[in-house]
């Protein structure tokens, strides 16, 4: 990477919301009406940066004439509160504005530590919730920028990095009792063995996915049947159904799904935190006859000991969680307590790539497979890079590892995921696949984007017509 005097010149934020609740896409027992949204951040850089400048024009949004490459990142939310998330990203601006792009990209971990360590902002977490997700968005934007400048997809940038440098990117605070820097170094050195061959296999045939598209609670049995059949035809070997609202419904839907896909396809079920510990055990046992592969989010993501109790009782059904696990410290305990069979990282919940490196290392230390949460908006685009790095240069295997796939909203990204025969194809463009199309940003920025402005206008007109009718009657 060539040396440069480039600086971060702007930290621009966008409140982007898609009206997904109108179609019941994404409905589950806890989240019946999500409007998939992104609290989106763009790090702009000064134009005296030469590294990666030739690719920047093509794959960044709003890149003005004189600017260098941009870093894009976001927090995924499901609608209301996306503005709060944007405010949290903006609170981080002073830490980033004016920083040297070279220094940031050479050591994103240093920024990550500065952000989580802000002596006043950490009171709002620490390392959890809105403030921590904001940190994740900014840190991920730096990784996007670093990968663009290195002209590599992020998974490859990580896989090509030395074990020593990767270890320097991990914050071992609060996990060193279980994972030391020496442990991490050993795991990463082991992971390097055969990595070139695995990178070749990955480029050729991708990484296995599974699909949640058939299984939303709001769908009819007919739609479930059609989409489950389609999933198998599309090459997926695992599907997922949402459960937890009504046991009789769940039994019926599991029966329908099992009949459609046959015994050879894995069916995971997902309760989205709906249950207490006892309910989780009873309900999962009631669904056991349909051979569920895992029960996901059976209870609160905070309840380490609860998950351990559930796992003990529902085996051989596996226990999976992670999309709402707030940080590496909870993941550490889930592993220590033997509470999970499957660890589900999320690219935009924790403090960015750096914290996810820590979590992948913890999983590797315990030999627990990582099957990322995805879907929403842009989560598939991001998280595929982390699983691919894990395969190429850490765990070294795809066995029992699948990345969630949902066929929503990919068109809004410049480098959308590519699924072939139920597998995620390796991204080849530089960056973290996080860059949204400028026209999508313009259309779905809330409340002033063209879609929402027209929507508001429509609603106001309907309201007026209704009032006029009422007056006339």
Which residues are annotated as catalytic? 242, 373
Q: Reduced to 3 states, what is the DSSP secondary structure of residue 73?
A: strand
Which of 125, 136, 244, 351 is the binder for a second copy (CB under 8 A)? Answer: 125
Under rule CB under 8 A, residue 174 binds a second copy: yes
286 to 315, contacts with a second copy by CB under 8 A?
Answer: 299-306, 309
Under rule CB under 8 A, residue 430 binds a second copy: no
CB 419 within 8 A of CB 210: no
* Residue 383 C-beta: closest distance to a second copy, Å: 17
Residue 338 has, within 13 A of its CA and on its CB side, a CA count of 5
* Residue 453 C-beta: closest distance to a second copy, Å: 20
Under rule CB under 8 A, residue 238 binds a second copy: no
13 to 42, contacts with a second copy by CB under 8 A?
Answer: 30-35
Task: Using the minimum distance from each CB to a second copy, give the nearer residue, 52 or 322.
Answer: 322
Phi, psi of 37 (to 5 degrees): -140, 160
Sign of CA dihedral 105, 110, 114, 116: positive
Q: Reduced to 3 states, what is the DSSP secondary structure of residue 154?
A: helix
Nearest CA among 155, 156, 158, 154 for reference residue 170? 158
Sign of CA dihedral 331, 334, 335, 340: negative
* Residue 146 C-beta: closest distance to a second copy, Å: 26
Under rule CB under 8 A, residue 447 binds a second copy: no
Which of 3, 66, 177, 220 is the binder for a second copy (CB under 8 A)? Answer: 177
Under rule CB under 8 A, residue 173 binds a second copy: yes
Number of chain residues interacting with a second copy (CB under 8 A): 60
x/- letters, 335..374, toward a second copy (CB under 8 A): -xx-------------------------------------
x/- letters, 58..77, toward a second copy (CB under 8 A): -------------------x
How many degrees, rounded to 5, is the angle at CA 398 between CA 395 and CA 401?
100
* Residue 113 C-beta: closest distance to a second copy, Å: 13
Residue 29 has, within 13 A of its CA and on its CB side, a CA count of 20
x/- letters, 260..279, toward a second copy (CB under 8 A): -------------x--xxx-
The Cα–Cα gap between 374 and 347 comes to 8
* Residue 124 C-beta: closest distance to a second copy, Å: 5
Q: Which stretch binds a second copy (CB under 8 A): 85-93, 189-197, 359-367, 437-445?
A: 85-93
Under rule CB under 8 A, residue 233 binds a second copy: no
* Residue 94 C-beta: closest distance to a second copy, Å: 8
CB 201 within 8 A of CB 398: no
Per-position DSSP letters for 158-215, written without gaps between them:
HHHS-HHHHHHT---TTTTTT--HHHHHHHHHHHHTTHHHHHHHHHHH-EEEEEEEEE
The Cα–Cα gap between 110 and 172 comes to 13
CB 36 within 8 A of CB 378: no
Per-position DSSP letters for 244-299, written without gaps between them:
-S-HHHHHHHHHHHHHHH-TTSEEEEE-TT---HHHHHHHHHHTGGG-EEEEE--S
* Residue 393 C-beta: closest distance to a second copy, Å: 27
Task: Using the minimum distance from each CB to a second copy, give the nearer residue, 29 or 364.
Answer: 29
Which own/partner pairs from 97-100 qualify as long-range (CB within 8 Å, at least 24 positions apart)? 97/8, 97/9, 97/10, 97/11, 98/7, 98/8, 99/7, 99/8, 100/5, 100/6, 100/7
x/- letters, 311..340, toward a second copy (CB under 8 A): -------------x-xx-xx-xx--xx---
Under rule CB under 8 A, residue 85 binds a second copy: yes
Binding site for a second copy (CB under 8 A): 30-35, 77-81, 83-85, 87-88, 91, 118-133, 172-174, 176-177, 273, 276-278, 299-306, 309, 324, 326-327, 329-330, 332-333, 336-337
């Amino acid at each position: 990477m060539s040396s440069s005097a480039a600086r971060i010149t702007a930290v621009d934020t966008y409140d982007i919301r898609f009206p997904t609740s109108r179609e019941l896409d994404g409905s589950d027992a806890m989240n019946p009406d999500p409007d998939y949204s992104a609290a989106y951040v763009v790090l702009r850089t000064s134009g005296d940066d030469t590294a990666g400048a030739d690719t920047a024009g093509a794959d960044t949004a709003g890149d003005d004439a004189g600017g260098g490459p941009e870093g894009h990142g976001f927090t995924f939310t499901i609608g209301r509160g996306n503005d709060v998330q944007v405010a949290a990203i903006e609170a981080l601006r002073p830490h980033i504005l004016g920083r040297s792009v070279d220094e940031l990209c050479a050591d994103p971990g240093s920024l990550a530590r500065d952000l989580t360590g802000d002596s006043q902002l950490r009171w709002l977490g620490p390392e959890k919730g809105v403030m921590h997700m904001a940190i994740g968005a900014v840190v991920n934007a730096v990784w996007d920028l670093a990968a663009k400048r290195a002209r590599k997809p992020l998974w490859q940038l990580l896989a090509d990095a030395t074990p020593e440098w990767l270890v320097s990117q991990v914050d071992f605070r609060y996990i060193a009792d279980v994972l030391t820097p020496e442990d991490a170094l050993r795991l990463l050195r082991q992971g390097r063995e055969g990595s070139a061959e695995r990178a070749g296999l990955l480029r050729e045939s991708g990484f296995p996915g599974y699909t949640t598209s058939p299984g939303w609670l709001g769908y009819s049995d007919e739609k479930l049947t059609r989409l489950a059949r389609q999933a198998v035809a599309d090459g997926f070997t695992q599907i997922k159904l949402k459960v937890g609202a009504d046991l009789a419904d769940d039994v019926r839907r599991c029966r329908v799904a099992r009949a459609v896909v046959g015994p050879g396809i894995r069916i995971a079920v997902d309760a989205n935190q709906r249950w207490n510990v006892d309910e989780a055990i009873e309900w999962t046992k009631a669904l056991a006859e349909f051979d569920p592969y895992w029960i996901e989010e059976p209870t609160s993501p905070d309840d380490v000991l609860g998950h351990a109790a559930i796992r003990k009782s529902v085996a051989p059904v596996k226990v999976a969680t992670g999309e709402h696990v707030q940080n590496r410290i909870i993941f550490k305990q889930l592993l220590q307590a033997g509470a999970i069979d499957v660890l589900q990282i999320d690219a935009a919940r924790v403090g960015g790539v750096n914290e996810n490196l820590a979590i992948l290392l913890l999983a590797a230390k315990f030999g627990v497979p990582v099957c990322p949460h995805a879907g929403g908006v842009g989560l598939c685009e991001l998280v595929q890079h982390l699983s691919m790095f894990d395969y190429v240069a850490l765990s070294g295997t795809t066995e029992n590892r699948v990345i969630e796939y949902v066929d929503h909203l990919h068109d809004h990204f410049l480098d959308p995921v590519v699924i072939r025969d139920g597998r995620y194809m390796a991204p080849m463009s530089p960056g973290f696949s996080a860059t949204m199309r400028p026209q999508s940003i313009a259309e779905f920025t809330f409340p002033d984007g063209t879609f929402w402005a027209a929507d508001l206008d429509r609603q106001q007109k309907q309201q007026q017509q209704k009032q006029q009718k009422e007056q006339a009657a």
